[in-house]
Amino acid sequence: MIRNFNDDISTPDKFVVTLELVPGRESSGRTIDTITGISKDAYADGRITAVSITDNPGGNPALSPDALGHEILDDGMDVIVHFTCRDTNRVGMESRALQLAHMGMKNILALTGDYSGKGFGGAGSPVFDFDSVILTTMLNDLNKRLIRAGHSSIFITGCAVSPFKYTEAESWVQYKKLERKIDAGASFTITQLGYDIDKYEELLLYNKHKKIETPALASLYLLDKRSARPMHAGRIPGVHVTEKLFKKVMQEWEVSSEGMKQAIERTARLGVVLKGIGYKGIHLGGIHDSFETVGKILDRMSEIEHNWLDYIEEFRENEPNRFYLYKQPETAKTVIPGKDTIKVKIAENFHYLFLRTAHDLFFDKRASLAPMYKKISSSLDKSKTSWMLKAFLEDPFKKMMLSCKSCGDCGIQHVGFLCPESGCPKHTRNGACGGSNDGFCEVNTDKLCVWVRAYNRMKKHGETEKLTREFVPPRLWELKDTSSWINFHLDRDHQKPLKPPARML
Ligand code: SF4
C-alpha cells in the first residue's frame, strides 16, 4: 500500500517523520543503490511517512528527483519532490510540473533554491525567473486546471522557512514571506536546519500569534564531523552551527564509534524536544549510508520522549547579540516582540525618501496628474519616440540611483525602492530567500541582503507593513529594454489590472 504524506499531515495527533535523501552526480551505481535501499528499508520499517529528494543541492548537478522519486514511489513509499527556481524558466517549470502530475508525483517542496553551482564547463547561469511564492502560486493555479480536467489528486505544495535568523530585519522578512507562501497555497512548512530551540519555538509562537494552522515539520540533521565543519564555517546557506557545538562534535568524533553514538543521541533528544514543543513532525537529514541509523534515532526517541523536558536546556544556545522575536519563549503566552537597534545611514535614508517622493509624484495611478502622464506616455509611444525618454532621462537616472538593469517592468516599490534585479542575485520580488547570514547576502557576502536594507530603511519611517504586503506577480520578460515608465502608465507592466485568463472564464 502506498503511504500517503497528505493523509498523515492532515491527521490530528499523528507525528510525522520524513527523510531527506540527496542524489549525487550519477545516474546509477552505489549512491543511487544506497538511496533506493534506504527508501525500501524506510518503507518496510513503517515509521517514515515520505522521503524527500533534493533538487540539484548546492546548485550542482545531480540525478533528477523526479526520476529517482518515481522509482521510489513505485515501491510504495510516498515522495516529496524538491522543486527550485534556479535552473529553468517559467516555461520549463510549468512543463516540469505537468510531467510530475502525469507521473503521479504531487507532493512538492517549492523553493527559491540555493544559488547556481558548477556543472560541465564551469558555473551555471542562474535563472530565478520565479521565486518560491510565485512558484507556489503557479502550482495552485495548475491545481485548478487539474480539478477542471477531472483529476482526483492535486499538488500538495509545501514551503521552507528559516527561523534561524538573528537580526530583526531578517526574522521579519522571513516570517512575512512565510505568510505570503501560505496565502499562495502552501499547505505544509519545513524549517531550515538549526540547533537553537528558542528559534524553533519562535516559529510555533509566530504561527500561533498569526493563527497559522499549516502543519510545521522541523528539520533535524545527524550532525557528524564531515557536515559540522561547512555548517560551522557558514558554507551551507542559512545553517548555523555555533563554535561551542562545533567543538563538542569534533571532540566526540575523536573516537569515531563514540562520535556516531553521540550524534544519534543528540538527534533523538532534539527530536523529542521538537515533538514536545508542538511540531507536527520532523524532517530528518544527514543520512547517507543506511536506514539503520534512522531506526536507532527513532527507537531512542520512543525510549526518551516522556522525558523530553529534561533535554530542552541542552538546546538553548544563549549566544550574545542575537535577536529573538519573543524575548521569553517559555512564558510567551502574551507575545512580546523583541526589538533591535537599527541604524540607517544618512545617504541610505535620503535615497529612500527621494525615490519614495518621486514615486508618489509620478507613479501613483490615483494621483491627480496620472491622466496627464498617461496621455504623454501614449503620445510618445504612438510617435515611436519613447526611446528618447528612456535613453536620455530614464536610463541615466535609474542607472545612477539603482544600478538599473533595464528590465522594463520596474519592481522597486516592492523592495523599499531598491532594485530586485541588480540588488538581489535571485531577483526575488516577494521577500528574502533563506540564505542570508547575519544580514548579509548568501551570494555577495560583503553586501547586506537587499531585503534587510529595505526593512531597515522602511522601519525608520514606520512603513514596514508596506513591504511584502501583497503578492507581486512575476516580471514580464517581453518588456526587457523598454521604458518601465511608459509601461507603467500604459498598463503594460506587472501592475496592470489583472484579467482572468480565458480558460478561467
Ligand atoms: S526593477 Fe527593473 S526597471 Fe526597476 S530599477 Fe531594477 S532593472 Fe531597472
pLDDT of 504 higher than 50: no
pLDDT tens for each residue of 298-315: 999 999 999 999 999 999
Cell readout for 433 is 530567500
Close Cβ partners of 434 (under 8 Å, ≥ 6 residues apart): 112, 160, 161, 162, 174, 192, 237, 238
The 10s digit of each residue's pLDDT in 104-123 is: 999 999 999 999 999 999 99
Distance 415 CA to ligand 1 centre (A): 11
Chain-centroid distance of CA 66 in Å reads 20
For the Cβ of 450 lying below 6 angstroms from any atom of ligand 1, the answer is no
CA-wise closest residue to 158 among 330, 309, 20? 20
**pTM for the structure as a whole:** 0.94
Look over the chain and give the mean of its residue pLDDT values, rounded to a whole number.
93
| Cα–Cα distance, 394 to 404 (Å, whole number) | 10
Nearest-CA residue for ligand 1 atom 4 is: 410
Residue 334 in this model has a pLDDT that exceeds 50: no
Please give the angle made by the CA atoms of 293, 260 and 228, to the nearest 5 degrees.
105
- Of 400, 403, 407, the one to substitute when testing ligand 1's pocket (max ligand atoms within 8 A of C-beta) is 407
**Ligand 1 mutation pick, 351, 359, 399, 404, max ligand atoms within 8 A of CB:** 404
Q: With a cut of 50, say whether residue 333 has pLDDT above it.
A: no
| β pairing state of 16-21 and 188-191 | unpaired
Cα 407 to averaged position of ligand 1 atoms, centre (Å): 5
Instruction: Report the nearest-CA residue for atom 3 of ligand 1.
Output: 410
Angle at 97 between CA 93 and CA 102, to 5 degrees: 145
pLDDT of 330 above 60: no
The answer to whether 249 touches 225, Cβ cutoff 8 Å, is yes
Pairing of strands 50-53, 78-84: parallel
Task: Please report the pLDDT score of residue 503 as a whole number.
Answer: 42
Q: Could you give the CA distance from residue 293 to residue 257 in angstroms, rounded to a whole number?
A: 13
Picking from 208, 251, 188, the residue whose alpha carbon sits closest to that of residue 11 is 188
Ligand 1 atom closest to 408 (CA)? 3
The response to whether residue 398 sits with its C-beta less than 6 Å from ligand 1 reads yes
- Residues 19-32 have pLDDT tens digits of 999 999 998 888 89
CATH 3.20.20.220: which residues of the chain? 5-331
DSSP bridge partners of 337: 326
CA-404 nearest atom, ligand 1: 8
Confidence of residue 140 (pLDDT cuts 50, 70, 90): very high
Residue minimizing CA distance to atom 7 of ligand 1: 405
Q: How far apart are CA 193 and CA 292, in angstroms?
A: 22
Sign of the alpha-carbon dihedral angle for 223, 229, 231, 235 = negative
Q: Please give the helix or strand (H or E) that residue 78 lies within, else none.
A: strand 78-84
> Which ranges constitute the DSSP H helices of 278-323?
292-304
CA dist 412 and 408 (Å) reads: 12
Exposure string for 315-344, b = 16+ CB within 10 A, e = fewer: beeeeeebbbbbeebeebeeeeeeebeeeb
Which residue is closest in CA terms to ligand 1's atom 5? 404
Q: How far apart are CA 26 and CA 64, in angstroms?
A: 10
Assess whether the C-beta atom of 472 lies below 6 angstroms from ligand 1: no
Asked if residues 127 and 86 have their Cβ atoms less than 8 Å apart, the reply is: yes
How far is the CA of 400 from the CAs of 377, 396, 397, 419, 482, in angstroms?
Answer: 23, 6, 5, 12, 18
CA of 431 relative to ligand 1 center, distance in Å: 16
pLDDT band for position 339 (50/70/90)?
low
Which SS3 state, helix, strand or coil, does residue 87 take?
Answer: coil
Cβ 220 vs Cβ 285: under 8 Å: yes
Report, as an integer, the average pLDDT of 379-383: 95
When pLDDT is averaged across residues 280-309 and rounded to a whole number, the result is 97
Q: What is the pLDDT of residue 422?
A: 97
Whether ligand 1 lies within 6 angstroms of the CB of 402 is answered as yes
Return the pLDDT at 92. 98
145-177 pLDDT tens trace? 999 998 888 999 999 999 999 999 999 999 999
Place 338 in a pLDDT band, splitting at 50, 70 and 90.
Answer: low
Class of residue 65 by CB neighbours under 10 A (exposed 0-12, middle 13-18, buried 19+): buried
Average pLDDT over residues 403-415: 97
Question: What was the pLDDT predicted at 174?
Answer: 95
Kindly report, residue by residue over 428-479, the tens digit of the pLDDT: 999 999 999 999 999 999 999 999 999 999 999 999 988 877 899 999 999 9
Atom of ligand 1 nearest to the CA of 419: 6
Query: What span, in angstroms and rounded, lies between the C-alpha atoms of 177 and 479?
Result: 26
| 429 CB near ligand 1 (under 6 Å) | no
Q: Percent of the chain, pLDDT > 90?
A: 87
Ligand 1 neighbourhood includes 420 CB (under 6 angstroms): yes
What fold characterizes domain 5-331? TIM Barrel (3.20.20)
User: Are 47 and 16 spatial neighbours (Cβ–Cβ below 8 Å)?
Assistant: no
CA distance 88 to 98: 14
Q: pLDDT > 70: what percent of the chain?
A: 95
In the predicted model, is pLDDT for residue 201 greater than 90? yes
- The residue written with cell numbers 528539520 in the block is 219
Could you tell me where the beta strands, DSSP code E, fall in 247-391? Answer: 281-285
Type of residue numbered 137: T
Q: What's the pLDDT band for 499 if we cut at 50, 70, 90?
A: low
* pLDDT for the residue numbered 335: 47
Question: Is the confidence at residue 44, as pLDDT, over 90?
Answer: yes
What is the mean predicted confidence (pLDDT) over 1-26? 92
* Cα angle: 57, vertex 58, 59; to 5 degrees: 85
Whether 49 has a pLDDT exceeding 60, the answer reads: yes
**What is the structure's pLDDT at 152?**
80
pLDDT over 90 (residue 486): yes
